[in-house]
Amino acid sequence: MRSVKHYINGKAVDAGSRKHPIYNPSEGRQQAEVALAGRDALDQAVDAAKAAQPAWAAMNPQKRARIFYKFKALVEEHHQELAELLSSEHGKVVDDAKGDVQRGLDVIEFCCGIPHLMKGEFTLGAGPGIDVFSMRQPLGIGAGITPFNFPAMIPMWMFGPAIATGNAFILKPSEKDPSVPVRLAELMTEAGLPDGILNVVHGDKEMVDAIIEHEDIKGISFVGSSAIAEYIYSGGTARGKRVQAFGGAKNHGIVLPDADLDQVVNDLTGAAFGSAGERCMALPVVVPVGEDTAERLREKLIPAIKNLRVGVSNDPDAHYGPVVTEQHKQTVENWIAKCAEEGGELVVDGRGLELQGTDGWFVGPTLFDHVKPHFESYKEEIFGPVLQMVRADNFEEAVRLPSDHQYGNGVAIFTRNGHAAREFAARVNVGMVGVNVPIPVPVSYHTFGGWKRSGFGDIDQHGPDGIRFWTKAKKVTQRWPDGSAQGDHENAFVIPTMG
Ligand code: NAD
């Protein structure tokens, strides 16, 4: 059986006696295994990182950028192979897996501009004979802990800016689909990255705890579920580390009466069911405003949902594939049962879907109507192909629903009314807003991050915040006294005022 190894100091490394299965969710069987390690493997990675980081940080930023250009070209060359590998372990269809790689690569492209992005600020003559300048310096060693659902994009969102700014990095990918992260690290080596700058270690809670506790790791970026995000945020910050931790989501799509419903149905089916709903920017809640909007939308949604094709992840005609594990299939089906028990009207039931010739973990597209805000199944993230319709009486209620929800990752509004959209975007208590855009993931040169229980910490991922997160600002105030400037010979018993 194929065994996925740790990648430390530019080499494949065996460590850890506990094994975790890597499945092929389309076939419902194990295809490989990964060894779960802890402090010993982490120490090896940190030692390698510590030895390599000073020279990497001292390399001029243009040279560092050239490695990113090369890496970008290599990922493009291997795009199909990476997408197929990703798809076979995750279960998302190959075209969607290509998008996963591409959205990560967009951030690598941004990192190619690191010479410009690392330029500091300078003020000549901030006081008599005094100049002030500031520069950004790397934290030293950073770590990233990533979820299963974007095994290419999220690792690249983290290691790209961390490494470009001069840090060494330790990536702990999801144990469910660890092969692509390792492959990306190998390609970074092939692109010319010195050994020890990007290390991949595998593990579960034991490894995560070792990362939180390791005194040489100065910054942690986490993406995953909220309870673990909160745990890592509080544990890391209590030890003086810089931490950003992004959690779960329950994004709402608001449909105003004047929206183009054919467009909405098209956008909504993709955003609710694409990747089997296993996206933090999926749209699992739809909020039509007014009974008439709800009825018209429902009438169009039902046939569109029934026309969706669920298939194995390499079926080029499938809209989406299986969910990630058998256990997750059970969890999603339990939520469907729960929502029905709570009083939701089960309009389309996706449970019990079986595809001929495979034992994969499929859940058909599911639609609920008349879901109420007090339902547990509404309050919690289901992370499956389940769309819940919550009818709102008016615009105010439509603003309130996502604003009052515990999660605040993304939200979308569908309308032809610019004033209403503007008002909604200004008032809604959610981090990322789409106006007639169902999945408003900002482009790589803007920042990405949710609010409330979707994001702990106050610096977003990628864009200018990626640079800020992985660096510290050093501020230098200097003078070269030669007796000619006012104050050169004055005693300074009062706080200098530059006056
Ligand atoms: P998860 O929280 O189970 O796992 C994430 C990471 O934490 C993995 O590397 C895992 O090994 C590690 N981990 C698991 N259990 C742990 C424990 N007890 N202690 C410490 N670490 C532990 O998440 P997942 O199922 O891999 O991913 C899906 C979740 O991620 C969803 O909630 C989704 O909304 C969220 N997500 C959020 C964003 C965002 O940007 N907000 C993006 C993608 C995914």
The contacts of residue 163 (CB under 8 Å, 6+ apart) are 56, 64, 111, 169, 188, 193, 197, 198
What pLDDT shows up at residue 321? Answer: 98
Dihedral angle computed from the Cα positions of residues 449, 453, 459 and 461, in that order, rounded to the nearest 10 degrees: -30
What pLDDT shows up at residue 65? Answer: 98
The strands making up 11-13's β-sheet, listed across from edge to edge, are 11-13, 6-8, 198-200, 168-172, 141-145, 219-223, 242-246, 455-456
What pLDDT shows up at residue 499? Answer: 62
**Mean pLDDT computed over 37-60:** 97
Q: At what angle do helices 418-427 and 395-404 cross, to 10 degrees?
A: 30
Domain, as residue range, for 314: 252-435
Cα 170 to middle of ligand 1, angstroms: 17
Shared domain for 337 and 368, answered yes or no, is yes
The pTM assigned to this predicted structure is 0.97
Q: Answer whether residue 109 is part of any domain.
A: yes
Q: At 15, which CATH number?
A: 3.40.605.10
**Per-residue pLDDT for 435 more than 90?**
yes
Q: Answer whether residue 401 is part of any domain.
A: yes
CA distance linking residue 441 with residue 280, whole number of Å: 10
Q: Answer whether residue 493 is part of any domain.
A: no
Q: Give tens-digit pLDDT for 106-162.
A: 999 999 999 999 999 999 999 999 999 999 999 999 999 999 999 999 999 999 999
Going by CA atoms, what residue is nearest to atom 6 of ligand 1?
A: 147
Cα 174 to middle of ligand 1, angstroms: 8
Shared domain for 135 and 20, answered yes or no, is yes
Shared domain for 184 and 71, answered yes or no, is yes
Domain boundary among 435, 465, 494: 435
Shared domain for 431 and 460, answered yes or no, is no
Pocket test for ligand 1, best of 23, 92, 156, 204 (most atoms within 8 A of CB): 204
What pLDDT shows up at residue 189? Answer: 98
Shared domain for 302 and 238, answered yes or no, is no
**How distant, in Å, are the alpha carbons of 13, 34, 238, 259, 339 from that of 3?**
11, 6, 36, 51, 40
Going by CA atoms, what residue is nearest to atom 34 of ligand 1?
A: 248
Shared domain for 242 and 143, answered yes or no, is yes
Shared domain for 127 and 78, answered yes or no, is yes
Shared domain for 217 and 334, answered yes or no, is no
Q: Which residues line ligand 1 (CB under 6 A)?
A: 145-150, 172, 174-175, 204-205, 208, 223-225, 228, 246-249, 280, 381, 383, 409, 450, 454
Cα 147 to middle of ligand 1, angstroms: 4
Shared domain for 29 and 123, answered yes or no, is yes
| Catalytic residue status for 111 | no
**Mean pLDDT computed over 93-117:** 98
Mean pLDDT rounded to a whole number for the chain: 97
Q: How many CB atoms lie within 10 A of CB 488?
A: 13
**Mean pLDDT computed over 41-67:** 98
Q: Give tens-digit pLDDT for 205-224.
A: 999 999 999 999 999 999 99
Q: Answer whether residue 419 is part of any domain.
A: yes
What pLDDT shows up at residue 495? Answer: 76
Under the banding of pLDDT at 50, 70 and 90, the label for residue 486 is: confident
Q: At 280, which CATH number?
A: 3.40.309.10
Going by CA atoms, what residue is nearest to atom 21 of ligand 1?
A: 205
Shared domain for 267 and 132, answered yes or no, is no
Pocket test for ligand 1, best of 18, 153, 174 (most atoms within 8 A of CB): 174
Under the banding of pLDDT at 50, 70 and 90, the label for residue 484 is: confident
Under the banding of pLDDT at 50, 70 and 90, the label for residue 175 is: very high
Q: Answer whether residue 491 is part of any domain.
A: no
Q: Answer whether residue 172 is part of any domain.
A: yes
**How distant, in Å, are the alpha carbons of 115, 208, 463, 491 from that of 226?**
35, 15, 23, 55
Q: How many domains does the chain have?
A: 2
The contacts of residue 212 (CB under 8 Å, 6+ apart) are 220, 232, 235, 236, 239, 241
**Per-residue pLDDT for 39 more than 90?**
yes
Q: Answer whether residue 161 is part of any domain.
A: yes
Q: Give tens-digit pLDDT for 328-380.
A: 999 999 999 999 999 999 999 999 998 989 999 999 999 999 999 999 999 99
Shared domain for 157 and 60, answered yes or no, is yes
CA distance linking residue 442 with residue 4, whole number of Å: 33
**Per-residue pLDDT for 7 more than 80?**
yes
**Mean pLDDT computed over 261-266:** 98
Q: Answer whether residue 296 is part of any domain.
A: yes
**Mean pLDDT computed over 446-457:** 98
Please spell the DSSP secondary structure of 192-258, one letter per residue.
Answer: TPPTTSEEE---SHHHHHHHHH-TT--EEEEES-HHHHHHHHHHHHHTT-EEEEE-----EEEE-TT
CA distance linking residue 211 with residue 232, whole number of Å: 9
CA distance linking residue 166 with residue 149, whole number of Å: 28
Shared domain for 162 and 288, answered yes or no, is no
What pLDDT shows up at residue 115? Answer: 97
